[in-house]
Amino acid sequence: MSPATSGGTLSTSLAAWAVATDAAAAAGVDIRELHGTDVTLAQEVIGQVWGPQLIPQQVLLRALAHAGCTLLGAVLEGQPIGVTLGFLGWKGGIHLHSHMTAVVPAHRSTGVGYALKLWQRAVCLREGIREIRWTYDPLVARNAYFNLVKLGAVVESLRANFYGTMVDTVNAGDESDRFEVSWWLDSSRVLAALSGHPHLPTDVVRSHEIPKDYTALSRSDPAAAREVRLAARAGLLAAQNERLAIEWDDGAYRFTRRALAEGHSSSAAETCG
């Protein structure tokens, strides 16, 4: 066990491992920290989910794993079905940037992604890292629910066309608007979400609905999908400029009066005090 878990953080780390182990058992998977030749398991999953364009080089994955970044694989009956990859960043404070989390199509909605994120959380707390950040497309409703409600992450900002025009097999040709979210791993908000009692939006100013399945729309009607994206971008940026918090509830983003700065300071106080 890392020295980072000594003292007051030990009980938090042990509790995180218990939750992660339970989630993996519920999903029926074995979750492993990947090293050496095992990184090919991550390559296989990434290729199945996003296509060959986004498969990282094996030498890069080996180097990241060697340096201690979180490269985790979910294995079922000897077959890799999920992966998450994260590396340390320091912009805005030391955190783990979770770059990729993927589950092969046949095993989505079975708890594998949830188990991977909880395992990633436990690894970070073991090493004394108390914040994870990542980006996601705000038009993917299932990810909005997963990130903001089930995990209890907080929207930091909208980054318009963050990666440029996408080239992977899922999003090819689409622009890459992304929410950057922050997951304060032992905050009261996250603990409530993980216990099945997530924060619900209050003092809602207005809302913005998105399609239930934007990915299907983008394939069947790219022109309509672009209109949806531009409208969402405008609405989300307007809320951001007004310093409204952006929450998710019942198929729509809810813009609330809890200012972003207040949300940051309260999270920091809970996790760093």
Domain boundaries, the chain: 3-198
Strands 178-184 and 131-136: antiparallel
Joined together, the tokens standing for residue 234 give 């405008």
Average pLDDT over residues 108-123: 96
Selected from 3.40.1160.10, 3.90.1420.10, 3.40.50.1970, 3.40.630.30, the CATH number assigned to the domain covering 3-198 reads 3.40.630.30
Encoded amino acid at 65, one letter: A
Joined together, the tokens standing for residue 137 give 């497309």
What is d(CA 18, CA 12) in angstroms, rounded to the nearest whole number? 10
The separation between the first and the last C-alpha atoms of the chain, rounded to the nearest angstrom, is 23
* pLDDT of the residue at 167: 47
* pLDDT of the residue at 7: 52
Q: Is the per-residue pLDDT at 96 higher than 50?
A: yes
What is d(CA 261, CA 68) in angstroms, rounded to the nearest whole number? 32
Average pLDDT over residues 230-234: 95
Q: Is the per-residue pLDDT at 4 higher than 50?
A: no
What is d(CA 28, CA 113) in angstroms, rounded to the nearest whole number? 12
Lowest mean pLDDT among 82-86, 132-136, 175-179, 222-226: 175-179
* pLDDT of the residue at 84: 96
Average pLDDT over residues 125-133: 96
Lowest mean pLDDT among 36-45, 60-69, 167-176, 248-257: 167-176
* pLDDT of the residue at 54: 86
Sheet holding 131-136, edge to edge: 30-33, 70-76, 79-89, 95-103, 131-136, 178-184, 154-159
Percentage, residues of the chain above pLDDT 90: 78
Residue in the structure block whose two tokens are 């992660």:
20
Q: Is the per-residue pLDDT at 136 higher than 60?
A: yes
Joined together, the tokens standing for residue 70 give 């979180």
Query: What's the mean per-residue pLDDT of the chain?
Result: 88
* pLDDT of the residue at 11: 87
Contact status, residue 129 vs residue 121, Cβ threshold 8 Å: no
Long-range contacts of 212-219 (CB under 8 A, 24+ apart): 212/141, 212/251, 213/141, 214/137, 214/139, 214/140, 214/141, 215/140, 215/170, 215/171, 218/171, 218/174
Q: Is the per-residue pLDDT at 13 higher than 50?
A: yes
Residue in the structure block whose two tokens are 């218990």:
18
pTM of this structure? 0.87
Model confidence pLDDT, tens digit, residues 34-83: 999 999 999 999 999 888 888 999 999 999 999 999 999 999 999 999 99
* pLDDT of the residue at 262: 39
